[in-house]
Every structure is written in C-alpha cells, then in structure tokens.
Amino acid sequence: MIKCFLNRVDKMTYSVTFDAIKVSQPVGDFYCGVMKASDVTRISEADVRKIQHDDVGKYLGIQRELKPDRVKKISFYIKGIDATFPSSIILSINEENVSWDESSKSITLTSNEGEDDKIASILDGQHRLAGFNESNFEFENPDGSTSPFQLLVTIFVGADVSTQAGIFATVNLAQTKVNKSLVYDLQALAEARSPERTCHDIAVILNAEVKSPFYRSIKRLGVATPGVKGEFLTQATFVENVVKLISPDPKADRDHFLAESKFWRKNELSHLDRASLEKHFFRKAFIKDKDEVIASNLLNFFDAVRQKWPIAWSKGEKRSSLNKAIGFNALVRVFKDLYKIENSSFEWDKVISCERFLDHLSKCELDDQFFLELDPTSRSSKVIYDSIKKYYG
C-alpha cells in the first residue's frame, strides 16, 4: 500500500505512506519498503551541505559528485525492456520527518511546514535516482498499460553523520567490480538475441575449434582457465571489439529482440542506412541470424595473421605484443580495412577467404621480431596498426 497526498499550508507539505518492515541490527533499527521512483526522487537529495563542515563527512566523501555520463547511461537503461534495480536505495531521514505505525506496519514520510520536500539524504543510489525523470517514471506492460517504476528503499532514521559515513563505507568501499568477461559469458543464458550474445557465441566457437587461431587462447571468464596454459586474450576484449562491427547501439538491438519475445511485437531496427552499414558491416548478417558469416570472416583473417606471423601470434610467446589485447585491438582495425577493400559493394553475406587476407598481409615487410621487440603498452596498439596499414593503405 502506497498513499501520497499534499496538504495546503504556507508551503506545500508532502507526505507519503507505504507498507514497510522494521529491521533490527547492531547498527540500530531501520525500515525497508517499496516506493515509487517519482516519490523517492522527490524527497531525497545528495545533501552535501549537511556534511561539508563535518570532518568525518569531508574525509570519507559520503556524497560523491554525480558523473553526467553515468547518469545518462542509467537514464537510458531505465527505459529498457528489462530494466531492474533489485538492490535498495539507502536513505537517511530525520526523526521529525518519519512516523512508524507498528499496528499497520506502515511508515509515513512527511515534510514539515515551511520546508521543501527534500527530507532524505542519499547514502547509496544517487546515480540511480538521478537517472529517473518524467520520461521514465513509468514503464509499459506487455498488455500496453503502464505502471509506476517502484524501488526498494532502506531508511535509517536519525542517523548521525558518523553512522551515515560508516554505512556509506560498508556499502560502497567493499564492493567488487564484476568481471566483464563473466558478464559476457552469462549472455549465453539470455533468451533474446543480442550483439553481445552473438559475439560471445563466436568467441566460444573459435576458442574450442582445434584448427582455430584462437584455440584455447581466450579467457572465457577473464581469468586463466584451470588446466589451460597460454591464454592471451580475455573474452571481454574479443566481444567489445567485434560488437563494434555489428552495432552502434547494442542495448537498443537487444531491447528490440527482447520486445519481440516479451511483447510479441516487431519494432523497426535502426542504423540500416548505407553509412551505418559501411561502418558496422556485419549488421545485416546479425539481423538475419547468420552469425556464421561473421565467424567465418574472423576465422579466415586471423588464420592469415597466424600464417604471416606464426611466432608473434603463438600463444606461448610471452614477449610478443601481437598476441595481447593491444595487438588484437590493432588487428581488428586492419581486418576492417581489408574487409572493406575486398567487399567494396558491401554484400552482407560475403566471406573473404584466408588466401585473400594473406595476399594483403604478405605485402607487409614486418617480421615476427618487430612484435617481440615492441613494448606492450597501450600506445603500441596504434603503432602496430599504422605499421601494417602503410603496406596496403
């Protein structure tokens, strides 16, 4: 149950009531419930003013500056077909603004006469909340109706600044960033088609095929596979490079196919103009569910690379910069150039042979030693690309 009402006073007073549960832990009592995203954003703020003169607050930086790029990405994510925030927004509210009804197990949050609605300080979730606005407070259901986006909230009442700082540190400083390769590996479990899932599937195939230049060379979970030696490329590096050949907006494509399965409707895919297809030349193959076209072209090109530089590409050669992420990044750029040369008419299903790729690479006078002597730093990726390109560009 969520009730929201406004009382007319000298300044509008805002009040919201919702079901909640009371939780007792060593830190003290707090309350958990469900609120509309619109209500949470209305009553809360990252109130730096409350703590900027407090040494604890200044030292821990309880409220961090919002990152516009991150807020923009979250706002876009909220509009997705399967957007979700399963973890709580954590708020701190003064006792005078909170009323707990033990009999009905409900909590009421109210702004006092003469004060604005911002009665809650955000301890965790400020970027998530900043991503909400009038365009995404509601979402569409499969039957076409709309529902308010709801959020789990955890409310600490009357917590002093040092307690707030401790909660902030516990929630944020102990978090472990999820390995990107693991995230891409989990794409295999997705029901809907997506550029990331396609690239993951291709990585798995090329990693498992004995004759592949990537045979047992891709770290599926981003870390070394037990019992396998010499893996030189993470799945994240592979997927993030190849997905750029398919889509300028992987999430929008994923939402398209997810909408088909969830809403039983077909939306028009975007970025099908010639300029987009010339840049993302595997886009049509992906849309037509012909992933083998993508895999075959990649297999043939990197087989040509292996034949041209067998030592530098070898998984056992640790000195090489070619068989590392920087080398792979550069080689994908070379692949794009050569594919366009061989397929100037941009036939979506054309597969370039290993021999044709090798014809181009054979003109390059660089030998294996060049890659063994090149420092494996991030800037070396451009050096590799430029050094190869001058022989065909």
Model pLDDT, residue 7: 41
Between 48 and 152, the more confident residue is: 152
If you write DSSP's letter for every residue of 50-61 in order, what string do you get? Answer: GTTT-HHHHHHT
Q: Where are the beta strands (DSSP E) in the chain?
A: 2-7, 13-25, 28-36, 44-45, 89-93, 98-101, 106-110, 120-124, 138-140, 146-148, 150-157, 218-219, 233-234
State pLDDT tens for residues 125-172: 989 999 999 999 999 888 889 999 999 999 999 887 767 777 776 776
Nearest C-alpha neighbor of 313 from the set 352, 390, 371: 371
Most confident of 25-39, 185-199, 223-237, 325-339: 325-339
If you write DSSP's letter for every residue of 7-45 in order, what string do you get? Answer: E-SSS-EEEEEEEEEEEEETTEEEEEEEEEHHHHHHHEE
Model pLDDT, residue 381: 96
Tokens (6 digits) for 43: 């009553």
Model pLDDT, residue 116: 72
Nearest C-alpha neighbor of 20 from the set 39, 4, 41, 34: 34
Residue 267 pLDDT class (50, 70, 90 cuts): low
* Cα 10 to Cα 48: distance, rounded to the nearest angstrom: 27
Between 175 and 183, the more confident residue is: 183
pLDDT at 112 over 90: no
Model pLDDT, residue 360: 97
Model pLDDT, residue 108: 94
Between 179 and 11, the more confident residue is: 179
Between 146 and 185, the more confident residue is: 146
Model pLDDT, residue 60: 39
Query: Which range has the worst mean pLDDT, 77-86, 185-194, 371-380?
Result: 185-194
Residues contacting 387, CB < 8 A, separation 6+: 366, 370
Between 265 and 298, the more confident residue is: 298
pLDDT at 18 over 90: yes
Query: Which range has the worst mean pLDDT, 70-84, 100-114, 164-178, 361-375?
Result: 164-178
Q: What is the mean pLDDT of residues 192-204?
A: 92
Q: Which residue has the tokens 């067998």?
A: 310
Model pLDDT, residue 361: 97
Calculate helix-pair angle for 325-342, 380-389, nearest 10 degrees. Answer: 30
By the 8 A CB rule, do 16 and 43 touch? yes
Nearest C-alpha neighbor of 195 from the set 121, 119, 284, 80: 284
| Collapsed DSSP state (helix, strand, coil) of residue 355 | helix
Residue 54 pLDDT class (50, 70, 90 cuts): very low
By the 8 A CB rule, do 104 and 10 touch? no
* Cα 133 to Cα 152: distance, rounded to the nearest angstrom: 17
Mean pLDDT of the chain: 86
Model pLDDT, residue 176: 62
State pLDDT tens for residues 331-375: 999 999 999 999 999 899 999 999 999 999 999 999 999 999 999
Between 144 and 297, the more confident residue is: 297
Residue spans of the domains in the chain: they are 2-172, 180-389
